[in-house]
Structure 1
Amino acid sequence: MKKTIITISRQYGSGGKEVGENLAKKLGVPFYDKEIIAMAARSSGLDAELFEKADQKATNSLLYALSMFGTTATTYNAASYDGLPLADKLFIIQSDIIRSIAAKGSCVIVGRCADYVLADDPSCINIFLTSDWASRVRRATRQYELDPSDAEDIIRKTDKKRAAYYNFYTGLKWGHVDNYHLCLNTDAIGLENAVDLIASYVSIRENDD
């Protein structure tokens, strides 16, 4: 397998983590999700719990830094921005971690604007996973042992938060088809078939190169 970085963006409850984990196993490559938080904590010297609890919410201070220094969020030296809120520093540090992971070889990365961070990497394949509402509620209820009404509330809030975070830091629209190579409805094809379909697409891309 040629070097291939697969990024997975997903609606909450669409099975993104499960698809990502099984795809990584199928392809025999590393899988990264919350592992990136642990790596960011080690790299920065900050407590991992701070990263876990930090709201994924855009802040105006990062826009100020952009306007003052004329750079992009993915080229920051995190040590130079100690005055920024934790959410902004988290994005900066995670971007560096994601690029270092991608430089090492093939892998699957879930979330964290990885498609944007690696936009200039020709080995990157970007996937967006969605599902119908009822299936997302059922999956969230089963996996996280939630009451259905609580699951619905968490789904709405999480998707809103992810969209706002992505839209702000990338300048793009979360979930828009133009940002991805494949957009899959996991309810329509099933999680296992989603894994197989993405793996097939990887093979097609490799044969075309």
Structure 2
Amino acid sequence: MSIITIARQYGSGGRQIGQDLAQKLNVPFYDKQLVAIAAKKSGMSEELFQKADERHTSSLLYSLVMGNYTFGVPGTAANLPLNDQLFLLQTQIIREAAKKGACVVVGRCADYILREFPHIFRVYLYADKDCRTRHAIDEYGINEKKAADIVAKIDKQRAAYCNFYTSTKWGDPVNYDLCLNTGSISAESAVQLIMDASQMKP
């Protein structure tokens, strides 16, 4: 069974699709709870980590240590920006989860973090902006007047986060095994397509 990573545009339904997929496959699901796990592991404030989640800093550290850094003794790398500490912790947590077996991980550059693991199936979810804006209003309760701007802003943050911490470009089809337009199919169909396609990968 595959480890499935889901990168997603904001409002494309990635969280719900990931949850439904994990439930159907009966495997662990990781998304925002990675922040809580990281906070507990570090002894730092979950609220502070939530503000730093999927946002990058101007540090060049990760171009040097990505893939090689181990977070060991408490207080290690405490001089780093909070965003960087969170990324290192999430990297460790995601790798530890993958070593245990099949799971579904949404966001957090998991497709890149786990790039050397066997049986990885990398998914990218997208939809047109109008569809995603409506989804943000209806499903996330975003203010209708601000929704379009928020969708654009979060997409920009996610792209910058991925492009900064990895050597890949967020949303580039060559970096994924499957790209799905969730604006043209139901969440249930998306889940089934991901399941079927992941089983076909050699």
- Interval containing the TM-score (normalised by the shorter chain): over 0.9
- Look up the match of 1:13: 11
Aligned to 1:35: 33
Number of residue pairs matched? 199
| Alpha-carbon distance in structure 2 between the residues aligned to 1:174 and 1:146 | 24
* Unmatched runs of 5 consecutive residues or more in structure 1: none
Q: Which residues of structure 2 form unaligned runs of 5+?
A: none
Contact kept, 8 Å, 1:74 with 1:96, in 2: the verdict is no
Q: Give the match for residue 89 of structure 2.
A: 93
1:174 is the counterpart of 2:170: yes
Aligned partners of 2:33 and 2:53: how far apart in 1? 18
Aligned mates of 2:86, 2:62 — CA distance in 1: 16
Of 132, 156, 164, which aligns to 1:136? 132
Q: Mean Cα displacement is larger for which, 39-48 or 106-115?
A: 39-48
Which of 190, 199, 208 is residue 186 of structure 2 equivalent to? 190
Distance, in Å, in 2 between the alignment partners of 1:134 and 1:99 is 35
Maintained 8 Å contact 1:166/1:173: yes
What is the deviation of 1:153? 1.1
Query: TM-score when scaled to structure 1?
Result: 0.90
1:116·1:170 contact (CA, 8 Å) conserved in 2? yes
* Structure 2 CA distance for aligned equivalents of residues 187 and 138 of structure 1: 11
Which residue is 1:74 aligned to? 67
Counterpart in the other structure of 2:145: 149
CA RMSD in angstroms, aligned pairs only = 1.5
Quick one: structure 1 residues 118 and 44, their matched pair in 2 at CA, closer, same or farther if it must change by over 3 Å?
same
Matches of 2:149 and 2:25, distance apart in 1: 35
SS of residue matched to 2:145: helix
Alignment of 1:103-122 (within 5 A): 103-122=99-118
Q: How far 1:132 moved relative to its partner? A: 1.4
Deviation, structure 1 residue 198: 0.4
Aligned to 1:54: 52
Structure 1 CA distance for aligned equivalents of residues 53 and 107 of structure 2: 15
C-alpha change, 1:55 and 1:26, in structure 2 (3 Å) is closer
Contact residue 53 and residue 86 of structure 2 kept, 8 A: no
Partner SS, residue 123 of structure 2: strand
Q: By how many angstroms is 1:150 displaced?
A: 1.1
- Structure 2 residue aligned with 1:124: 120
Cα pair 1:74 1:92 within 8 Å, conserved: no
Give how far 1:171 is off.
2.1
Residue 202 of structure 1 pairs with residue 198 of structure 2? yes
Is the 2:62–2:165 contact (alpha carbons within 8 Å) kept by the matching residues of 1?
A: no
Kindly indicate which of the two structures has a greater share of residues assigned to helix.
1
